[in-house]
Amino acid sequence: MAPAVERRVEDAASAAAMRPASVLMKPSRLAAIQPSRISASRALINRAVAGRWRITRKSFAIDAVGKGIADYRIDTGTMMLSFPVYSFEPSPHGRTGRIIGRAWDMMGALVEGDMSAGDFETTRQELPKLYRGRATPGTLVWCRSNRSGRVFRKTQEALARGEQPAIGDIAETCYVMRNTGLDGNGTFGTRSFMALEPGHPLRSSLSAQMLCAYMMRVFAQDIIEHLAAQASPGAARLDPSVARFIGVGNGSALGLMFYVNNHPRLIDRWLGIREQSIAHASQLDLTDGRIDLLDNLVGQALHFRREDRVAYENATPSGVVADDLAVIRAALAELRDRRRAANAIAPTLADLPDYYGRPIGMDAEETLNSLSLELVPDFADALVDTLVVDEEPRPQPFMSVAVLRELVRSDYAWAFKLGIDPDQPGDYVWYKSVTAEEPRRGLRSEVPEGTVNLGLDLARMILALDRDLAASDARLSVARFLVANPERRAIVTRVQTLADCKYHSVEADIMSPDFVPAHMTRLLNVGIHGIDKARDFLNRNLRGVLFHGAPLPEDIASGTADRHWFNPSEPAA
């Protein structure tokens, strides 16, 4: 077969192996997706290591209580970026991980180019104003973060004593500072990401926010060493193995449901490239080398889960996931033995579940899926580079009512199975508070009268549209249907815009008491951003760690970073 033909056959086979939306788009399944090399944080590190990006500290003028400024540069080889930091003495007043907080321990910005002194000063004045502030030209992201009180203090005290922090203390959170806000893509006058030029190092989705988060981690480690040194001349520096183990914290909550609703094409594209990559990996002949690689990675993940000290509320305990990963390892071993003994046709990953011996949970399944991408790194990375996604509407007014209805009945079949009445509003309302625009979700009976629902009530919108389509002449154009039914314009446009997408909408009634908001936060935080150890709070908030085990700036610059740095073991005491 000619290579091009062979490739087309492979592509078709991969497409056939991708899971249907009816399986993947269930909230619990989306919540089980684990970090992988296509998660934004890991993809950023891969790109930085490949390009040997250089991070340098240009200045650091911070006093013994943490007040002052610092200034960093990131040289990607093709672009210089600046990361100015404004650091403050921690205050207990107005302090919270929520967006309504008014006290931050640091604020910073990611700015294109070598920032001028004037822009540095302007940013210092504008950043604290947030919604009333204006970013200087070339600003990509504004950020802010807080120290993790207890772990930060214990780590600083240990370093001041000339010791490394106790791993038990560090492993409580695995971070010393936590991101409390990353704003970009036009907010506060920052650059629109769609305006970033081809070849821009941060052009693919979420790259700019992730670099900003990585720089928060760099600053967090610098300031903790600095404060320890201020307290004691004999202070130690963080051992590199401990420094790599310390990531940067992240808290996320209900706002990510709005993000999912507002970025259906990005969600579809990201899930699509993950499914494509998994399907591609699942069809490879499992040679001894590939089995060994996978076995090592699963073993590393198993160890990581066994060491995990985080107590989860409703998420699967790590011990359960570890037990399931042990089943996968045993199956891999059996597959290798059978392959060697029988000299049979080379098995593939698709054969692996036949050897499990017992059912395993979704978290372990998705861990294996994520790790399988390491079998096809170039394939997956090439797809990540295509994550420049346009969410603009694509109406088709000449489509007939009959075709539109067919689309509605097939692409949204799940909505018809929920048994809901489109005229009866759901129990919950999603809204934003006037204070810091904090996203909230409350019972309809508890929210102030007149509260505007900002949640996408997709199921009811679809059912109402279907009812109106059924009552219309099937030969009518959508253009004419919408003259008679103008209130359906938003949902019709959405359905048409997403007609070529497979994984665009979560299949659930998000207005229902049964819906768990943390499931969507988990999809974004864990799967798409690459956050580890995401603790859940009240089924709606998550706190976890980004860049857990990630290379340090010197590892990136020297090209010596471990390519499988994720799922790190606790450093030796």
Partner 1 sequence: MTVMTLSLREARMVLERLVLVAGVDAGLVPSLRECALFSAALGPASFEGIEANMNALRGADPKRLKMSDEGGKVVLDGRGLHAWYGAHALVDLLCEQLHDGRRAEMRVTGFAEPAELHVAVPIGLRQGISVAIGFQDGEAFVTAERAANGADPVMDIILNGTPVDADLWWRLFDESDKALAPDSFESRRHAGALIVEADGRVIGRQDEDDTDLSMLTGADKVAAARENFEKAGQS
Among 237, 351, 442, 565, binds partner 1 (CB under 8 A): 442
Q: Find all residues with CB under 8 Å of 166, minimum gap 6, and list them.
A: 154, 158, 573
Task: Output 323 or 468, the one with its CB closest to partner 1.
Answer: 468
Q: Considering only residues 1-40, where is the footprint of partner 1 by CB under 8 A?
A: none
Please state the closest distance from residue 372 (CB atom) to partner 1, in A.
33
* Pair type for strands 106-112 and 541-546: unpaired
Sheet strand arrangement including 80-87: 54-62, 68-75, 80-87, 106-112, 139-147, 175-184, 247-252, 541-546, 532-537
Q: Which CB atom, from 118 or from 289, has the smaller least distance to partner 1?
A: 118
Residues β-bridged to residue 57: 72
- Which residue's CB is nearer to partner 1, number 517 or number 549? 517
Which of 3, 92, 118, 233 is close enough to bind partner 1 by CB under 8 A? 92
> Among 44-52, 113-121, 263-271, 434-442, which window interacts with partner 1 (CB under 8 A)?
434-442
Choose between 232 and 262: whose C-beta lies nearer to partner 1: 262
Q: Does 477 bind partner 1 (CB under 8 A)?
A: yes
DSSP letter for each residue of 498-534: TTT-SS-S-SS-TTSTT--HHHHHHIIIIIII--EEE
559 binds partner 1 (CB under 8 A): no
Under the criterion CB under 8 A, does residue 189 sit at the interface with partner 1? yes
Of 335, 328, 319, the residue nearest 371 (C-alpha): 328
Give, as one character, the DSSP assignment of residue 385: T
From the CB of 65, what's the least distance to partner 1, in Å? 17
- Binding range to partner 1, per CB under 8 A, among 329-337, 353-361, 409-417, 438-446: 438-446
Q: Which is nearer to partner 1, 376 or 408 (CB)?
A: 408
Contact pick of 258, 259, 379, 537 for partner 1 (by CB under 8 A): 537
Instruction: Kindly tell me which residue out of 35, 84, 97, 571 binds partner 1, with binding defined by CB under 8 A.
Output: 97
Examine residue 474 and tell whether it contacts partner 1 (CB under 8 A). no
- Residue 484 makes contact with partner 1 by CB under 8 A: yes
Helices 3-17 and 264-282, interaxial angle, to 10°? 110
* 228 Cβ contact list (under 8 Å, min separation 6): 156, 157, 159, 160, 235, 236
CB burial string 313-330: b at 16+ within 10 A, e below: eebbebeebbbbbbbbbe
Those residues whose C-beta lies under 8 Å from the C-beta of residue 333, and which sit 6 or more positions away, are: 295
Residue tagged 């936590």 (tokens) = 178
Question: Count residues contacting partner 1 (CB under 8 A)?
Answer: 75
Is 103 an interacting residue with respect to partner 1 (CB under 8 A)?
Answer: yes
Minimum separation from the CB atom of position 36 to partner 1 (A):
27
Return the residues of window 31-90 that contact partner 1 according to CB under 8 A: none
Considering only 8, 58, 98, 340, the residue that binds partner 1 (CB under 8 A) is: 98
Q: Are 224 and 238 in contact (CB under 8 A)?
A: yes
Residue from 136, 190, 207, 221 binding partner 1 (CB under 8 A) = 190
Binding window for partner 1 (CB under 8 A); candidates: 214-222, 351-359, 477-485, 548-556:
477-485
Among residues 300, 311, 320, 268, which one has the least CA distance to residue 523? 268
Residue 364's nearest CA partner among 443, 302, 422 is 302
How far apart CA 9 and CA 4 sit, in angstroms, is: 9
240: DSSP letter: H
478 binds partner 1 (CB under 8 A): yes
Phi and psi torsions of 249, nearest 5°: -75, 160
Residue window 250-289: x/- pattern of binding to partner 1, with contact defined by CB under 8 A: -x-xx-----------------------------------
Smallest gap from Cβ 234 to partner 1, in A, equals: 29
Residues in 343-372 at the binding interface with partner 1, rule: CB under 8 A: none
240 touches partner 1 by CB under 8 A: no
Can you state the angle between helices 318-342 and 362-372, rounded to 10 degrees? 60
486 makes contact with partner 1 (CB under 8 A):
yes
Q: Which stretch binds partner 1 (CB under 8 A): 219-227, 357-365, 479-487, 552-560?
A: 479-487
Piece of 79-87, 159-167, 409-417, 429-437 that binds partner 1 (CB under 8 A): 429-437
Q: Which one of the spans 111-119, 213-221, 346-354, 440-448 is the region binding partner 1 (CB under 8 A)?
A: 440-448
Instruction: Name which position in 166, 194, 382, 413 contacts partner 1 (CB under 8 A).
Output: 194
Considering the complex, state which of residue 413 and residue 484 has its C-beta at the smaller distance from partner 1.
Answer: 484
* Minimum CB–partner distance for residue 76 and partner 1 (Å): 22
What is the chain's alpha carbon radius of gyration, rounded to the nearest angstrom? 25
Half-sphere exposure of 233 (CA within 13 A, CB side): 0
Minimum CB separation from partner 1 for residue 491, in Å?
6
- Each residue of 176-210: b (16+ CB within 10 Å) or e? bbbbbbbbbbeebebbebeebeeebbbbbbbbbbb
> Are 570 and 307 spatial neighbours (Cβ–Cβ below 8 Å)?
yes
For partner 1, which is the closer residue by CB, 195 or 346?
Answer: 195
CB neighbour list of residue 38: distance below 8 Å, 6 or more residues apart: 270, 273, 274, 277, 373, 380, 381, 383, 384
- The Cβ of residue 514 has, within 10 Å, a number of other Cβ atoms equal to 8
Contacts of partner 1 in 390-419 (CB under 8 A) = 392-393, 395, 397-398
> Partners of 175 in the beta sheet?
247
Q: Could you say whether residue 320 binds partner 1 (CB under 8 A)? A: no
How many Å apart are CA 431 and CA 39, to the nearest integer?
28
Question: 53 or 412, CB closer to partner 1?
Answer: 412
Nearer to partner 1, 194 or 470 (CB): 194
List binders of partner 1 among 112-151 (CB under 8 A): 132, 134, 146, 148-151
Q: Which of 15, 470, 474, 538 binds partner 1 (CB under 8 A)?
A: 538
Q: For partner 1, which stretch binds (CB under 8 A), given 28-36, 273-281, 361-369, 538-546?
A: 538-546
Residue 224 CB, nearest distance to partner 1 (Å)? 16
513 binds partner 1 (CB under 8 A): no
